[in-house]
Amino acid sequence: MGVDRRQFLKLAGIAGALGLGGSVGFQLLKPGSLDAAERMPTPYQMVFPKSQGNSEVMPNPKALKGRRWGMVIDMRKLTEEKARAAIQACNYYHNVPDIPGKQTIKWIWLTGYVNAFPEVENPFADPEIKNARFIAMCNHCDNPPCVRVCPTKATFQREDGIVMMDMHRCIGCRFCMAGCPYGSRSFNFRDPRPFIKKEYPLYPTRTKGVVEKCTFCSERLAVGKLPYCAEASGGAMVFGDVDDAGSELRRLLRSRYSIRRKPNLGTHPQVYYLV
């Protein structure tokens, strides 16, 4: 497939918008898919001002803006069905492969109370809570150890708090995985693409040798949409601006008691569970 300079710069623009810097890690588009990609909205609906004949990437004016993004998970509303819908949406739209066993790739998953909150284990706790299955995901910590230990800055924190991955800078050392106390990161021990049941064409696939995780759906926020999991969860997951006292997220946090995972570690997780 011939890719001229202008097309190349467009792809580079998409990669730049995602924080992707090099040539491996993500497979942006398959051979022959460039024309189709041009007809479709781009993954992040960035504006390419064709009339100007250049490849400048402009932010989408509809992009959601928050000073500090966070997620609230309402355990009274989170049925198994809603949790599965949220997980399925995330996995499909992010091309998360279905690899069984120890090499599994997890962006969002279900886990038990004791696993999620080992420090608050209490034999007399409400059985409804103790037996509940909690959604776990990257907490987009305010003080993320994963960012501090990454030697190449492949993982970094945005101003709005989202902890991102630059797949092309990732050298696969897995220091970030050792640094994350929540198991929120997964390593591609093998090429994940054969394990994607049905590929979603508007999101890049990854390659062997890189780490991946939840991004709070940065690509959705960039076009004014909420994260897939929040949208699919039937109101059990509420995404919003933790710094905005008038947000729905803050209203929920005022209205009910909430817990966070391993708060004693000082990571300041920004995923809150209403219990």
Told to check if 107 binds ligand SF4 by CB under 6 A, we report yes
> Residue 263, SS3?
helix
Q: What are phi and psi of 187, to 5 degrees?
A: -110, 135
Which 177-206 residues touch ligand SF4, going by CB under 6 A?
Answer: 180, 182, 184-185
CB 44 within 8 A of CB 17: yes
When binding is defined by CB under 6 A, the residue of 14, 29, 46, 90 that contacts ligand SF4 is 90
- Between CA 32 and CA 93 the distance in angstroms is 21
Told to check if 227 binds ligand SF4 by CB under 6 A, we report yes
Told to check if 249 binds ligand SF4 by CB under 6 A, we report no
When binding is defined by CB under 6 A, the residue of 214, 242, 274, 275 that contacts ligand SF4 is 214
- Between CA 240 and CA 71 the distance in angstroms is 6
Q: Which is nearer to ligand SF4, 231 or 243 (CB)?
A: 231
Q: Which is nearer to ligand SF4, 29 or 237 (CB)?
A: 237
- Between CA 242 and CA 55 the distance in angstroms is 35
Residue range at the interface with ligand SF4 (CB under 6 A); choices 23-31, 196-204, 224-232, 248-256 = 224-232
Size of the site for ligand SF4 (CB under 6 A): 26
- The number of CA neighbours under 13 Å toward the Cβ of 31 is 2
- Give the distance from CA 35 to its chain's centroid: 28
Told to check if 85 binds ligand SF4 by CB under 6 A, we report no
Q: End-to-end CA distance of the chain, in Å?
A: 54
Q: Which residues bind ligand SF4 (CB under 6 A)?
A: 90, 94, 107-108, 137-141, 144-146, 163, 180, 182, 184-185, 213-217, 227-229, 267
